[in-house]
């Protein structure tokens, strides 16, 4: 199936705090403005003018040597909003001895994500379509993601709209918008329940990803942005939490690209298959109805 690479790159970015958080309308609106501005900058990529193609020779040499590079996608990676934070991280990798078709076969198959990414415990396609002018795939997916840190285990159900574009035979781009994220309490127990959108710990309220793929030089370059919205750091603890959140966010980008590369290079490798379960049928968007 044709589905973008979704990650848990911005989940569980902070230790637990005493009080729950609630997403405010002005915080959500500020995040949407940030996403709109970024998408305007990313539009040339969607048209096929890929920045990874113009990267310095030394950068591409390091990627071909096996390095996975990661850095802040904007500013220092964590940006202030009214009562919230944007977490924007970027990473790049090179998958050797692979074609664009090889990489997309893994990246688009979101139903198999639970066998590839250890933090995804359920994955399912819940709808899609293929457009032909320009060549575009669109789909809807649901993922259940679990992240453990030293302080907290966070479980969320996430619904996302995904779009792939294919501007030419050697390149593709993908974007995803998870506008419904619901925190799960008591996961796996009889009293399991989903909290309403925007309520709970506030570790992940919104998530977007943007990926460019370029087949070149005996493999495929992957250039990946992950953007998420979380609650603000609690007063008096920001100095402690911020460097941890920055390390987790940047590291998650690296981890995501590493798992993608492993799955492409060795399709038989399913290190987490025995622990994961397919998502049950659920046609309703956002778990309603």
Residue 106: name the closest of 98, 69, 87 by CA.
98
- Residues 71-76 have a mean pLDDT of 93
From residue 14, alpha-carbon distances to 42, 151, 217, 233 in Å are: 28, 8, 39, 8
| Residue 13 pLDDT | 46
Half-sphere exposure of 57 (CA within 13 A, CB side): 0
Q: How many CB atoms lie within 10 A of CB 21?
A: 20
Contact 6, 210 (CB under 8 A): no
| Residue 273 pLDDT | 42
Cα 73 versus chain centre, distance: 13
| Residue 275 pLDDT | 45
- Between 21 and 17, whose confidence is greater? 21
Percent of the chain residues past pLDDT 90, beyond the cut: 63
List the structure tokens of 275: 């622990």
Peptide bond into 81 cis (omega under 30): no
Give residue limits of the domains in the chain.
Answer: 21-280
Residue 213: name the closest of 48, 11, 44, 16 by CA.
48
The single-letter DSSP state of residue 195 is P
List the structure tokens of 236: 């008096």
List the structure tokens of 50: 């890929």
Residue 23: name the closest of 193, 179, 134 by CA.
179
Show Cβ contacts of residue 204 under 8 Å, excluding neighbours closer than 6 positions. Answer: 10, 11, 12, 13, 154, 156, 181, 228, 229, 230
| Residue 2 pLDDT | 35
208: exposed, middle or buried (C-beta count within 10 Å: 0-12, 13-18, 19+)?
buried
Nearest-angstrom CA–CA distance, 183 and 194: 6
Q: What is the CA radius of gyration of the chain?
A: 18
| Residue 1 pLDDT | 32
| Residue 150 pLDDT | 67
Task: Determine the length of the chain.
Answer: 289
DSSP string, 146-167: EEE-SS-EEEEEEEEEEEEEEE
pLDDT at 272 over 50: no
Q: List the single range of 10-19, 111-120, 152-161, 209-218 with lowest mean pLDDT.
A: 10-19
- Between 86 and 252, whose confidence is greater? 86
| Residue 271 pLDDT | 43
Long-range contacts of 66-70 (CB under 8 A, 24+ apart): 66/94, 68/92, 68/93, 68/254, 68/257, 68/258, 68/261, 69/93, 70/250, 70/251, 70/253, 70/254
User: What CATH class is the domain 21-280?
Assistant: alpha beta
């Amino acid at each position: 199936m044709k589905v973008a690479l979704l990650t848990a790159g911005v989940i569980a970015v902070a230790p637990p705090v005493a009080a729950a958080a609630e997403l405010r309308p002005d915080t959500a609106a500020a995040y949407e403005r940030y996403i709109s501005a970024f998408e305007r900058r990313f539009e040339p990529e969607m048209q096929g003018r890929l920045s990874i193609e113009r990267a310095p020779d030394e950068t591409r040499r390091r990627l071909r040597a096996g390095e996975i590079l990661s850095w802040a996608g904007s500013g220092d990676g964590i940006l202030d909003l009214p009562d919230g934070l944007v977490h924007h991280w970027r990473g790049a990798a090179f998958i050797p001895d692979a074609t664009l078709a090889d990489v997309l076969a893994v990246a688009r198959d979101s139903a198999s994500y639970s066998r590839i990414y250890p933090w995804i415990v359920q994955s399912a396609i819940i709808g899609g379509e293929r457009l032909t002018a320009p060549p575009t795939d669109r789909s809807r997916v649901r993922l259940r993601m679990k992240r453990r840190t030293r302080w907290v285990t966070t479980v969320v159900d996430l619904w996302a709209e995904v779009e792939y574009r294919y501007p030419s035979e050697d390149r593709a781009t993908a974007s995803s918008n998870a506008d419904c994220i619901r925190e799960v309490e008591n996961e796996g127990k009889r009293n399991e329940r989903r909290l309403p959108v925007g309520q709970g710990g506030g570790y992940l309220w919104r998530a977007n990803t943007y990926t460019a793929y370029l087949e070149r030089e005996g493999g495929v370059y992957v250039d990946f942005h992950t953007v998420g919205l979380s609650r603000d750091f609690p007063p008096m603890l920001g100095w402690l939490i911020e460097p941890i959140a920055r390390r987790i966010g940047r590291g998650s980008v690296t981890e995501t690209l590493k798992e993608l590369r492993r799955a492409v290079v060795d399709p038989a490798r399913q290190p987490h298959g025995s622990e994961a379960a397919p998502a049950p049928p659920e046609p309703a968007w956002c778990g309603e109805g």
